Every structure is written in structure tokens, then in C-alpha cells.
Structure 1
Amino acid sequence: VKNALIGSDTTAGKSHLFVMESDSEEVAVGVDVNSYDGPLPYNYEPPRRERGQAELRGRVNGQRREIELWCEENRWRIGQVSWCLCGRCEAMPSAVESVCCREVDAYWSLVQNLDPPEDITCLTLHPGFEASCLNPFVLQIAYMNFRQEHGPLQASRPEQFRYTAYRQVVRWAYGILGRNIRKAIPSCVVSAIRRQFAEEGQTYKGFQWPRLEDD
């Protein structure tokens, strides 16, 4: 390995910094201090990842404020199901979770786009819902993919199934959202998943916003 030498040279009143290897091959030349006019362009820009995180945080916080305003106006939904249009929703402890599949275009369009059309009143009756979100064999494979990328969940087997099923239905409805972008799942869908993978005495966490400060 060659040793690097750091030195200076003064030529015609101009000072240079340079880095040379031990065989005298010059590999980098510094700035002419007599012609230096200040910071170089972009020299003090934050790293790209930091800028990306700031943009993400702003986007998520903006989405969160919008949804929180909606929740304030719709607190009446909590604890009852008069808002349900599909007939399969259950009462939820928060307004953000108190929505029906027929109220959210991303979910209801899955039913509307069935070919051939079927007389279905709820996303949970869609033939693809049971196949992709309630089938334990499908969820086992989906969970293995998740574990490979993110590591294992410290959770019981039913909780692993529920978590994976939630991810499956969101991916089905929205495609790839990106990191820290979260969407509430309709009450009817959450209730169907919880019934399928129930645990006695289990207290469910419900919808939670991402903790951006941990990223």
C-alpha cells in the first residue's frame, strides 16, 4: 500500500494544497486560495438521504393533518355503525378506523373492476379477498418474504397472520405505498381478518401512525 504525503507548494505567489503518493504520482490537487470566492456550489447541501427524509416527513405530516381534521369532523362514527354501507362493519374505537370498504375508492374499485361483474356488497365477499388475505398458506409465504427483508415479528402466530393479512390487503388496494406511508383499513376488512385469526383475550392495537423520528 502506498503512503500518502500531504504538503504545500508556493508558485508565483499562489498557494496550493496537494496529496501525493510516495512514488510522487499526484492524485489530487487542492483549491487555489488566492482565487477562492467562497463556498463551492452544493458544498454544504444536506446529504440526499436527509433531504429525502425531510420531504417524506413533510408529506406524511401533511397527510396526517388532513386525516386528523377529517377524524375531528367524524367523531360521531366512533362506537357505532350507522355509517356502514356494506352491512359487515363493526364498531371501532377511533374515527380513522370507522370507515366502510364502499367509502374508499381504492378498496371498492376492486369489487367494481371484477370481470365478469358479480353482485357483491362488500370487499370481504370478493373471491380474491379470502384467497389472498385469509388463506394461511398464502400468508405464510407472504410473511417469509416480509421476514427476509425486515426480520421476524416478535409476535404470536395469529398476530403474524393478522399483520401479514393487513399488509396484503393494503398492497392489493394501493400497490406500493413506500416507507412510512400508511393507510387505514376499512372496518369490515379488519373485522374479517380478526375473526379469521382470533386470539382469546387479545387486545388489538388498531391503526397507528409511523414514528418518523426513529428513522
Structure 2
Amino acid sequence: MIQELFTPSVQHWLDLVGIFVFAISGALMAVRKNWDVFGIAVLAEVTALGGGLFRDLIIGAVPPAAFTDLGYFITPLIAAALVFFLHPEVERTQTAVNVFDAAGLGLFCVTGTTKAYDYGLGLTSSAALGVATAVGGGVLRDIIANEVPSLVRWDRDLYAVPAMVGTIIVVLCIRYDALTSVTSGVAVVTAFVLRLLAMRYHWRAPRAWNRRSSTTEVTDEVV
């Protein structure tokens, strides 16, 4: 088994923090869509747990952690309730939410990769599931909300790329037997910082070479 990044207790609480901030982003989108309380709760749950649920089903970790730990299920509901009653205040703290979301991205891409490898997947497959763990909930959120997923929109700041960099660091460390709590932490921080820089400087992936299109460019901000 790969050495854990943190003790089980600390890891559990970090997971809950990541789940909470992901749930906030889902609940906020539901409010912007003018959904009712049930829709807010559903979108919060899907955004928070979707990536980890997909990973666990793929690797055969059943029942998934989302269904074996009550805290994982309750935390998104707490976030949904907070947004339901205090969404104007939460909207004003969007920058802070984005920072925590970036931290969750960094943490989940690393833990998703290591868990997939622990269950017998190869390095490439483990990296792919690490990225899916980090971004899967957001993709499901956008699909359910009838939006083009932010993951594939050129006008959104880089999101998957920082997660990919984090997972690459992890699999290289595994390959060369150098994965420790320190190197895992480096991977988390690297993904986190890259995401913050992408938001700060609006880094975006390049589009097709010599692309010519009359499509109107959309410039709305990242959710």
C-alpha cells in the first residue's frame, strides 16, 4: 500500500473540507438557476461526491466511500442549507470559495491517484482517475444544470491542467519509489498554486491552430 499523505483522521477532515467547498459551488449554481431547495441539495451532493463516486465504482471500491461514511453525505447538505439561507453573503465570498476549491482540486487529484494505484491500476490509469476524482463532480454539475461543462470551455481558466500536473508528479514519484508525505504534499501544493495562478492571470488552453470561426466569444467568469 502507498504511504498515506496524512493520518486517517486528518485525511478524513481534509476530505470533508474539500467536499464542503465543492458542494458550495454546486449549490450556488442551483441558486443562480433559480432551482428549489431539492434541486439545490441534489446539485450540491452531485458536485461534492461525483468525482469520488466515479473513481470508487471504476476501481471496485464498493460500496463507495460516499455511502459508507455518513459525514460524506451530510456535509453537502450542510453546504446546501448554508447557501439556501445565506447565498448573497456566500456570493460575496466567492474568491475565498475559489481558493478552497483550488485546494480541494489539489488534494483530490493526489488522493484519487494514490487510491486508484492501491487498487491495482497502472500508472496511466491511476493518473486519469486522479484527474477524474478532482474534476468529475464539476462536470456532472454542469451537465445536470444544462451547461457546457467548464472543463471543455476555452473561455474558462485552466482547471483540469493543474490537476493533471499534480497527478503526473504523483505517478512519477510512484514510478521511482519516491512517494512520501513530503512529495505528495508537493504535488498537492503544485496543483493548488497552478490553479490559483490560472485564476489570477486567466491562463487558458490554446485552441486549434489557425482556427477561424464566427462563433461569439463568451467571457463569463468561472463558477
Same fold (TM over 0.5): no
TM-score per shorter chain, which class? Answer: under 0.3
TM-score of the superposed pair, with normalisation by structure 1: 0.24
Give the greater-gyration-radius structure (CA): 1
- Judging by fraction of residues, say which structure has more strand: 1
- Point out which structure has higher relative CO (alpha carbons under 8 A, 6+ apart): 2
- Judging by fraction of residues, say which structure has more helix: 2
TM-score of the superposed pair, with normalisation by structure 2: 0.23
